[in-house]
């Protein structure tokens, strides 16, 4: 039985096309919007910090206003959110906008915070965490 071979020029063209397709997929995955991360994995809240304001979105399957405010407070210099507003967003997400009492503690940029707990922290747990972080 004869063995069929592809001409070298065909192999080069196929290799180039396969390589281009792999690179294209990698670029598209890297360019995924932060909102897409919250849709795919509801345990993330996405925050953009710009000029003292915090804006972003969260998936209500794992977050609510209280938990979102707690996550945002971690980005505030004084650990306190001054203003907070939210409303419906795309793909079932909740969009929010907030400011901090003492300004933001992180530089401008986009951040994703992952929820590690399966329930909201109790007041006692939040107080213990605050004491551990600030020593107060």
> How many domains does the structure of the chain reveal?
1
Residue 71 belongs to some domain of the structure: yes
Q: Is the pTM of this model over 0.75?
A: no
| Residue 103 confidence (pLDDT) above 80 | yes
pLDDT digits (tens, 9 = 90+) for 18-55: 343 333 333 333 333 444 555 567 888 889 999 999 99
Q: Name which of 47, 46, 53, 45 is nearest 103 in CA terms.
A: 53
pLDDT digits (tens, 9 = 90+) for 70-85: 889 989 998 999 999 9
Q: What is the mean pLDDT of the chain?
A: 74
Residue 28 belongs to some domain of the structure: no
pLDDT at 27 (0 to 100): 34
Residue 7 belongs to some domain of the structure: no
CB–CB of 80/73 below 8 Å? Answer: yes
Domain that holds residue 93: 34-134
Please give the share of the chain, as a percent, with pLDDT higher than 90. Answer: 33
Q: What is the CATH number of the domain that holds 48?
A: 3.30.70
pLDDT at 127 (0 to 100): 77
Is residue 11 classed as helix, strand or coil in its secondary structure?
A: helix
Number of Cβ within 10 Å of residue 45's Cβ equals 27
pLDDT at 118 (0 to 100): 60
Residue 50 belongs to some domain of the structure: yes
Nearest 5°: the CA angle 126, 59, 61 is 80
């Amino acid at each position: 039985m004869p063995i069929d071979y592809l001409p070298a020029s065909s192999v080069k063209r196929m290799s180039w096309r396969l390589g281009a397709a792999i690179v294209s997929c990698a670029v598209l995955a890297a360019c995924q919007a932060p909102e897409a991360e919250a849709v795919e994995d509801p345990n993330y809240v996405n925050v953009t910090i710009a000029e003292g304001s915090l804006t972003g979105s969260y998936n209500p399957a794992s977050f609510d206003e209280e938990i979102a405010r707690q996550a945002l407070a971690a980005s505030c210099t004084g650990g306190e959110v001054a203003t907070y507003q939210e409303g419906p967003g795309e793909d079932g997400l909740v969009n929010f906008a907030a400011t901090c009492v003492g300004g933001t503690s992180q530089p401008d940029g986009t951040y994703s915070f992952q929820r590690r707990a399966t329930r909201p922290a109790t007041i006692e747990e939040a107080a213990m965490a605050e004491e551990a972080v600030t020593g107060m």
